[in-house]
Amino acid sequence: MEECQKQHGGDERFNAKTVNPVLIPYEDICNPKKDLSKTIETAYGYDGLGIIGVYGIPEVEKLREAVFKDGFKFANMETKVKEKYEHKASFYSFGWSHGKEILQGHPDYS
């Protein structure tokens, strides 16, 4: 960090800023009386990371296992089926996108 400051002086573009992820309990999401607007603004606002972590999800291990199994089944379906779930308008940010997104000029298969 000091070397970077010496190289770039007081240039603000090279100053690192620590941003912590926003975490909320699952019970807050389930509570219709809970106002989450400030939490969402913090996570997705100008200085946010663009993600919200949720903790305290009941039976999360069981749910995670089921999603992974279903994801495997879906990935192995016919192309015509998977194409129904592509979302080209969002540049494949939503829906099925395996190999459709372009990363550094090449299809992203990760």
Check if the beta carbon of residue 69 is closer than 8 Å to that of residue 58: no
Confidence tier at 52 by pLDDT (50, 70, 90): very high
Give me the residues paired with residue 18 across strands: none
Burial label for 104, CB within 10 Å (0-12, 13-18, 19+), is exposed
Q: What is the pTM of this model?
A: 0.58
Average model confidence (pLDDT) for the chain? 85
37: left (phi over 0), alpha (psi -120 to 50) or beta: alpha
Predicted pLDDT at 9:
60
Beta partners for residue 23, in sequence order = 53
pLDDT of residue 19: 81
**Which of 63, 57, 59, 58 lies closest to 25 in space, CA to CA?**
57
Confidence check: pLDDT of 17 > 90 = no
Report whether pLDDT(39) > 60: yes
